[in-house]
Amino acid sequence: MQDMPPYSATTAMISGNRVLITGGQFTQHHYHGQKAAIDKLTDAIAPNAIHDSAARFDPPKCHPRTRVKILDEIMGRIVGQSQDMVVNPFLWLNGAAGAGKSAIAQSTIERCKERGLPLASFFFSKSDPTRNHAKPLVATLAYQLYQSFPGTEVQTEILSAITNEPLIFTKHIKQQFTTLVVQPLKTYFSRHKLPEHQTSFLIVIDGLDECIERASWKAILSGLADSVRDSNPCIHIFVASRPEYDLTQAFDSKDLKGIHTRLSLDLNRGSDVESDIKLYLSDQFEQIKDDCNNSSFFSPKLDQSWPGEEVIVKLARKSSGQFIYAATVIRYVTSARPQRPDRSLHIVLDLRPPDGDHPFAELDALYEKILGSCKDIEKVLDVLSLKMMWGLADWEVSLCEKVLSYEEGEVRRLFCDLSSLIELWQPSWSSDPNDTRLTILHASLSDYLLDKARSEQFHIDLRGKYIGRHMANGTSWVTHGCLAADPHPYPWNTHTHDPWVLHSWVMGYRHNV
C-alpha cells in the first residue's frame, strides 16, 4: 500500500469523474491488489472439510439408539461429565476401515452443538484434492473459530495476526495453530472467565490417515500437542483414524504419550456393536418394507415378516463388528432399482446369481484402495492365502514365517500399513513375547479376495498358484525344518512323497504344537 500526500481542496478530479469535497483533507490510498485479512483467511481454507459443508451433505452419522456407550464415553472425556474420568487434551478414536469412525465423529459434533460448545472440524478425504493434505488444516480450523465468536476479541486477534504476518499460512503447524487458535482464545478468556476445567473449544479431526502426506501425520499431532499441552483455556482435540503404524507410533511418542486417551473400535469384545448393527439393519429393512408396501407402483408387496430375524442375525455376524458391511448391504438393497429389494437381498446372501450386479462396489473400492497401498502386495497375498488354507480364525505369525521361509518379524513389517483390515496381537494367556497372532478384521474381506470378479489383481485362487506354492513351502518346511529337528513328530510314514499327506500334516500341525 502506498499513501499519497494529503490534498486540501473543494473540488477534485478523480479518474475523470467530478467529486465534490467540502473542506478538510482527503488521503488517496493505492492497495495494488492486496487483500484484506479476512479474504486471506477464507482463501486459505478447505470448505469441503468442514462438518456441515455441502460436499459432505447427508454425512454418515450414528443410527438412532446405536453407539450410545461409545458416544457417551467420548462426550464424558470432552466435557468431563464424570469426576472419575480422565480428561486429556487429546482423544484418539481408532478403528478398522468401515468401523464407523466418521459417523461417530459427526454424531459427536452434533451432540456438542446441541450443548452450545464452540467447535471446529476438518474431515480429511484422500479422494478430494482440497482436503487430502495438511496445508489448509489450521486455516480451516481458525476460520471456524472466527465464526464461533462473532464481534469479539477472537476475531480481532485472528485478523490482526494475519495482517501482521501475511505469510502465516506458510509457517509450520505449531506456529499457525498457536497464533491463529490458541492465542485468540487466551485473549478472549482473559477477559471472559470460563468455569475451571470446562472445554472452551473442541477440534475434531477425522480421517487423519486420509492425509496423503504421511510425514504430515506426526507433524500435525506433535504441532497441536506442543500448542495445547499447557493451554489455558482448555482446548480439546478429538482425532479419529485407522490405527496405522505411523499414527500409533506418533501417539506413543513423548510428545503425546501423557496427554491423550485412546479408544478403540476394533473387535471390542464385550461391546454392543453387533446388537447395534442388528438394530440398524432391523430399522432400515422396516423402512424399506414400509416404503415399498405403501407405494402403488410396487407389486407384489413384501411379506410382513421380511427379511426375517435369521437373515438379520446372519448379516450382523458377517459384518464382524464393522458397520460398513451392513451399511453397504442396505445401500445396495435400496438403490438397486428397478430390481425388487427382496431380490437384491438374495444376491447379497448368495441365494441367486448376481446377474451382473455388483452389490459391494463401495466396499470393494475401499479394500482396493487399502491393499493398493501395500509396498509388497504379493507377499501379503501369500500370507493371507496360507491363512485361508489353514482355516483358523487367529494364527501364529511365527509359524507362517517358518512355512514361507520369511525372516523373523517380516510378517509384522508386511502388514504394518494394513492394520485397518488385519490385526496383529498377542494373546493375554500367552507369556511368550514373540507369540503374535494374525486375525482378519473383516469377514467380508475373505469373500472379496476369493472372488476374482471383485478383487481382480488381488484375487486369491486357492486352487491355482497359491496351493502349489504353499504345498512346496509346506513340504520343504516339513522335510527340512520340523522333521530335521524331530524325525518322528507325527504318526505316519515320513518318507511318503504324497503332497496331500504332507499338506494335511502341515494343516494339522497347528493343533499339535
Give the DSSP per-residue string, 17-36.
EEEE--SSEE--EE-TTPPP
Q: Is residue 230 exposed (0-12), middle (13-18) or buried (19+ Cβ within 10 Å)?
A: exposed
Is omega for the bond preceding 300 within 30 degrees of 0, making it cis? yes
User: Do you know the residue count of the chain?
Assistant: 513
- Mean pLDDT for 483-501 is 41
Given this model, what pLDDT does residue 478 score?
67
Given this model, what pLDDT does residue 57 score?
84
- Mean pLDDT for 252-257 is 91
- pLDDT higher than 70, residue 482: no
Given this model, what pLDDT does residue 131 score?
96
Name which residue leads in pLDDT, 177 or 269: 177
Given this model, what pLDDT does residue 331 score?
87
281 in Cβ contact with 312 (< 8 Å): yes
- pLDDT higher than 80, residue 284: yes
Per residue, what are the HEC states of 168-221? HHHCCHHHHHHHHHHHHHHHHHCCCCCCCCCEEEEEEEECHHHCCCHHHHHHHH
- Mean pLDDT for 406-422 is 90
Given this model, what pLDDT does residue 107 score?
97
- Mean pLDDT for 320-348 is 84
- pLDDT higher than 70, residue 500: no
**CA 475, CA 155: separation in Å to the nearest integer?**
71
Q: ∠ CA 475-477-482 to the nearest 5 degrees?
A: 120
**CA 511, CA 513: separation in Å to the nearest integer?**
6
What lies within 8 Å, CB to CB, of 142 at 6+ separation is 41, 120, 158, 176, 180, 181
Strands 29-30 and 2-3 turn out to be antiparallel
Given this model, what pLDDT does residue 426 score?
84
25-46 residue pLDDT tens:
544 444 456 799 999 999 999 9
Q: ∠ CA 482-485-488 to the nearest 5 degrees?
A: 75
- pLDDT higher than 90, residue 14: no
Q: What pLDDT band is residue 505 in, cutting at 50, 70 and 90?
A: very low
342-388 residue pLDDT tens:
988 988 887 666 666 677 888 888 899 889 988 899 999 999 998 88
489 in Cβ contact with 482 (< 8 Å): yes
**CA 43, CA 41: separation in Å to the nearest integer?**
5
Amino acid letter, residue 331: R
- pLDDT higher than 50, residue 12: no
**CA 470, CA 407: separation in Å to the nearest integer?**
17
- Mean pLDDT for 385-394 is 76
**CA 220, CA 216: separation in Å to the nearest integer?**
6
- Mean pLDDT for 85-109 is 91
Strands 234-241 and 90-94 turn out to be parallel
Return mean pLDDT, the chain: 83
For cell 439393519, name the residue: 281
417-469 residue pLDDT tens:
888 888 888 887 788 878 898 988 887 898 899 999 999 999 999 888 877 77
Q: ∠ CA 430-431-435 to the nearest 5 degrees?
A: 60
> Phi/psi of residue 200, each to 5°?
-95, -30
- pLDDT higher than 90, residue 173: yes
Given this model, what pLDDT does residue 99 score?
87
What lies within 8 Å, CB to CB, of 95 at 6+ separation is 101, 242, 243, 264, 265, 266, 420
Does residue 92 sit in helix, strand or coil?
Answer: strand
445 in Cβ contact with 371 (< 8 Å): no
Q: 232: how many CB neighbours lie within 10 A of its CB? A: 14
Given this model, what pLDDT does residue 270 score?
46
Given this model, what pLDDT does residue 513 score?
35
Given this model, what pLDDT does residue 269 score?
47
Q: Phi-psi bin for 13: left (phi > 0), alpha (psi -120 to 50), beta?
A: beta
- Mean pLDDT for 204-217 is 95
Q: ∠ CA 242-245-246 to the nearest 5 degrees?
A: 95
Give the DSSP per-residue string, 378-428.
HHHHHHHHHHHHHT-SEEEHHHHHHHTTPPTTHHHHHTTT-TTTEEEE--T
